[in-house]
Chains A and B, each alone.
Chain A
Amino acid sequence: EAGVAQSPRYKIIEKRQSVAFWCNPISGHATLYWYQQILGQGPKLLIQFQNNGVVDDSQLPKDRFSAERLKGVDSTLKIQPAKLEDSAVYLCASSLVGQLNTEAFFGQGTRLTVV
Chain B
Amino acid sequence: GENVEQHPSTLSVQEGDSAVIKCTYSDSASNYFPWYKQELGKGPQLIIDIRSNVGEKKDQRIAVTLNKTAKHFSLHITETQPEDSAVYFCAAVLSGGYQKVTFGTGTKLQVIP
Residues of A at the B interface (CB closer than 8 Å) are: 4, 31, 33, 40-45, 48, 50, 55-56, 91, 93, 95, 97, 100-109
How many interface residues does chain B have, given as a range? 20 to 34
Q: Mark each residue of chain B from 19 to 56: 1 if its CB lies under 8 Å from any CB of chain A, else 0.
A: 00000000000011010100001111110010100000
- B99 at interface, CB cutoff 8 A: yes
Flag if A101 contacts B49 (CB, 8 Å).
yes
Residues of B at the A interface (CB closer than 8 Å) are: 4, 6, 31-32, 34, 36, 41-46, 49, 51, 89, 93, 95, 97-106
Partner of B106, one of A4, A33, A41, A48: A41
Flag if A103 contacts B106 (CB, 8 Å).
no
Partner of A42, one of B31, B43, B103: B103
For the complex, what is the distance from the CA of A107 to the CA of B43, rounded to whole Å?
Answer: 5
Query: A57 → chain B, closest Cβ, in Å?
Result: 12
Secondary structure at chain B's binding surface: helix, strand, loop or mixed? strand
Knowing A55-B97, A103-B49, A108-B42, say if A42 contacts B106 (CB, 8 Å): yes
Most B-side CB within 10 Å, residue of A40, A55, A95, A104: A104
Flag if B41 contacts A100 (CB, 8 Å).
no
For the complex, what is the distance from the CA of A101 to the CA of B6, rounded to whole Å?
Answer: 21
For the complex, what is the distance from the CA of A101 to the CA of B32, rounded to whole Å?
Answer: 6
List chain A residues, Cβ under 8 A from B32: 100-101
Flag if B98 contacts A101 (CB, 8 Å).
no
For the complex, what is the distance from the CA of A106 to the CA of B44, rounded to whole Å?
Answer: 6
* The 3 residue pairs across chains A and B that have the minimum distance between CB atoms: A106-B43, A42-B103, A101-B32
Flag if A55 contacts B103 (CB, 8 Å).
no
List chain A residues, Cβ under 8 A from B6: 42
List chain A residues, Cβ under 8 A from B46: 103-105
For the complex, what is the distance from the CA of A100 to the CA of B32, rounded to whole Å?
Answer: 9
Known: A42-B104, A103-B49. 10 other contacts (CB 8 A): A4-B43, A41-B105, A42-B89, A42-B105, A44-B103, A45-B100, A101-B32, A101-B93, A104-B34, A109-B42
